[in-house]
């Protein structure tokens, strides 16, 4: 992959144009375009409906998101939020390329990952900011390693 930057004074001040060139529309090109689209549409703040209030939480402050039945638990430095929802939908809302699913019911923010440690039966334990730890299931371990560039 080659990456080039070309300055163009004709491009409006707050715009960026990206052109992807390849010999064919391969899986790699599709994945790259998907990531670029995610960057373009990411939210820096996510609204959380808790009780009778809507609380705005900075995405980069979210350490992890966990679901049990239909209750989401969102861990941040300041507070732990509990609300009703689906993990998949919340993952789509916060997906800025830094979140990765580590088990059927847990997503973590890689910016808050301190270390990984081998656990029983091929699983691993993820240690995160604020002394949080979560089990990484074997099913999701390869995706985590790929996201970490391992």
Domain boundaries, the chain: 45-148
Q: Where are the alpha helices (DSSP H) in 27-137?
A: 27-41, 87-94
Q: What predicted TM-score, i.e. pTM, was given to this entire model?
A: 0.69
Residue 95 has a pLDDT of: 75
For 32-85, what is each residue's pLDDT tens digit? 888 777 666 555 788 888 888 888 888 889 999 999 998 999 999 889 999 998
pLDDT of residue 43: 55
Class of domain 45-148: mainly beta
**pLDDT in the model for residue 106:** 95
Print the SS3 string covering 20-55: CCCCCCCHHHHHHHHHHHHHHHCCCEEEEEECCEEE
Spell out the residues 6+ positions from residue 56 whose beta carbon is closer than 8 angstroms to its own: 45, 46, 47, 48
44-48, 103-107, 138-142: least confidently modelled range: 44-48
Residue 58 pLDDT: 87
What average pLDDT does the structure give for the chain?
A: 86
């Amino acid at each position: 992959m080659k990456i080039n930057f070309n300055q163009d004074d004709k491009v409006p001040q707050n715009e960026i144009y990206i052109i992807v060139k390849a010999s064919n529309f391969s899986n790699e090109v599709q994945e790259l375009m998907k990531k670029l689209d995610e960057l373009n549409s990411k939210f820096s703040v996510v609204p959380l409906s808790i009780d009778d209030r809507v609380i705005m939480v900075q995405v980069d402050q979210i350490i992890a998101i966990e679901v049990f039945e239909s209750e989401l638990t969102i861990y941040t430095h300041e507070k732990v939020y509990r609300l009703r929802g689906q993990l998949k939908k919340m993952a789509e809302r916060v997906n800025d390329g830094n979140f990765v699913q580590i088990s059927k019911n847990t997503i973590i923010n890689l910016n808050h990952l301190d270390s990984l440690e081998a656990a029983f039966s091929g699983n691993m334990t993820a240690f995160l900011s604020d002394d949080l730890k979560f089990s990484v299931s074997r099913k999701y371990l390869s995706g985590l390693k790929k996201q970490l560039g391992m």
